Amino acid sequence: MKLTSRARFSTVCLHAGQEPDPSTGAIITPIYQTSTYVQEALGKHKGFEYARTQNPTRMALERNIAAIEGGKAGFAFASGMAAIGAIGTLLKSGDHVIVSDNTYGGTFRLFDKVLTRYQLSFSYIDTSKLDEVERAMTPATRMLFVETPTNPVMRITDLRAAADLAHRHDVRLVVDNTFASPYIQRPIEHGADLVTHSTTKYLNGHSDSVGGVVVAVRDDDIEWLTFVQNAEGAILSPFDSFLVLRGTKTLALRMQQHNANGLALAEFLSAHPKVGHVYYPGLPAHPQHELAKRQMRGFGGMIAFDLGSLEAARRLLGAVRLHALAESLGGVESLISHPATMTHASVPAERRAAIGITEGLVRISAGVEDIEDLKDDLTQALDAV
Ligand SMILES: Cc1ncc(COP(=O)(O)O)c(C=O)c1O
C-alpha cells in the first residue's frame, strides 16, 4: 500500500502510516499490547526496545496524523492536555506566550495555574484582532497559541496572517485544531509551526477514547518532542492508538455530515423566535464569514446560541431527548452543554463575561444523526423554554 505524493485527503486519512502487519499480513495495524521487546543479541533489535519509547500501534497513528495535518512528525499523548503540556516544555523560564482569549478552559487552567509557577507569562488576547496581538508582543514572546474557531463563541483567527506576524517576531505559531479538525483546515499549510489536537474529539470521533497529539514541522521541535515524550512518558496507550487510527479512516466521511448538520442546525436555530444570537461561522451574519469561507472547508459541527437566561438554558437542557447533556464534542452522537457551568467553569466569571459566555449560552456538538431527528428534538425542547 504505497501512497503517492498526490494522494488526496480521504485517501491519506485511510492509509497513511499503515502497512500490512509484517508477520501476518493483517490489513489493520494490530494492538501491540506489550511493555518490552525481546532483543536477538546484545545491541541487536528491530528498532523497538521499550514501549514508552516506541510502540508500533502508536507509531502508525503518529505517522497517520502527521500526514493528515501535512506535518513532518506526530507525537501521541494520553490526553489533549498532555499534548499541550508537552508543547509547554518548548518554553524556558522568562518566556512570554500570547494565547487566544477564549481558549479551552483546561488550556487556560494549565497555563494560569501550572505553567506560571515556572516563570512563564501569558497574555490572553482576541487573536482574531491581529493588531492587538502585535501590540501584546514583547521581546520575551516565544509562542502564539491560537484556537480557531474559538470555543464556544466561534471567533476566527486568520491563520496565514497570524503565521506571518508570529514569524516576523521570531515566534512559533501553535494551533489547537481540535474544534475544526484537519478536514476543515490544515494550519501547517497556512504557516503554523505546531498543531495540536485533543484526539478525544473529531479525530477519534466515537466518544470512546481520551488522547492528544502534537504535529510538528521544525527539526528542532521534532527532536525536542521525541525526547520529551519519552522523558515525561505521557504516551497514548496501544489500545487508544488503535481506536484513533480506526477513527481517522472515516474522518472525511464524518466531517461531511458534521458540516451539513452543523449548518442546518445553525440556520434552524437562527430562525427560531426563542433563540437569541447564534454563533456559527457558516452564517452570513457571522462577522468573519468571508474569512471562514476562505480558510475552512465547511464550517464544522459546533454551534452556540443564547437563550437569554440560565433558567431558559436549564429548561432546554432538561427537555432534550436525542441530544445528550454532556461535556466534550466531535463524536458521532450529538451532545449539548452549558459552557458557563461545564467546559468553562474554571474560567473566572469576569473573563467569561468579557468573552461572551453568558449564563444563557448553550453549545451543541452536532453529530451525524438524521438532521430531521435533531431538529425535531430541538423543536420539542424549545417548546419547553
Ligand atoms: C479545544 C480543546 N483543546 C484541548 C482539549 C483537551 O483535551 P483532552 O480533554 O483530551 O485532554 C479540549 C477538551 O475539551 C478542547 O476542547
Ligand 1 centroid, distance to 343 Cα (angstroms): 10
Residue 83: which of 163, 251, 203 has the closest Cα? 203
The pLDDT of residue 191: 98
| Cell of residue 379, nine digits | 423543536
Atom of ligand 1 nearest to the CA of 212: 10
pLDDT at 185: 98
Best CA proximity match to 352, nearest among 103, 177, 120, 186: 103
Catalytic center residues: 52, 104, 176, 201
The pLDDT of residue 67 = 98
Q: What is the CA radius of gyration of the chain?
A: 21
Residue nearest to atom 9 of ligand 1 (CA): 80
Report the chain's terminal Cα–Cα distance, integer Å: 54
Q: Is the CB of 365 under 6 A from ligand 1?
A: no
Does residue 179's CB lie within 6 angstroms of at least one atom of ligand 1? yes
Distance of CA 57 from the midpoint of ligand 1 (Å): 22
- Position 345 scores a pLDDT of 86
Question: Looking at residue 348, what is its pLDDT?
Answer: 86
**Does the beta carbon of 212 sit less than 6 angstroms from any atom of ligand 1?**
yes
Maximal C-alpha separation, the chain: 74
| Cα dihedral: 12, 14, 19, 21 (round 10) | 170
- For ligand 1, whether the C-beta of 106 sits within 6 Å is yes
The rounded distance, in Å, linking the Cα atoms of 249 and 232 is 29
pLDDT tens-digit map of 103-114: 888 999 999 999
**Residue 217 C-alpha to ligand 1 middle, in angstroms?**
22
pLDDT by residue for the chain (385 residues), tens only, comes to 679 989 999 999 999 999 999 999 999 999 999 999 999 999 999 999 999 999 999 999 999 999 999 999 999 999 999 999 999 999 999 999 999 998 888 999 999 999 999 999 999 999 999 999 999 999 999 999 999 999 999 999 999 999 999 999 999 999 999 999 999 999 999 999 999 999 999 999 999 999 999 999 999 999 999 999 999 999 999 999 999 999 999 999 999 999 999 999 999 999 999 999 999 999 999 999 999 999 999 999 999 999 999 999 999 999 999 999 999 999 999 999 999 999 888 788 898 888 889 999 999 999 999 999 999 999 999 999 9
pLDDT tens digits, residue range 55-68? 999 999 999 999 99
Closest residue to atom 10 of ligand 1, CA basis: 80
The per-residue pLDDT for 1 is 65
- Candidate of 145, 178, 357 to mutate for ligand 1, largest count of ligand atoms within 8 Å of Cβ: 178
- Which residue lies with its CA nearest to atom 14 of ligand 1? 328
What does the pLDDT read at residue 2?
79
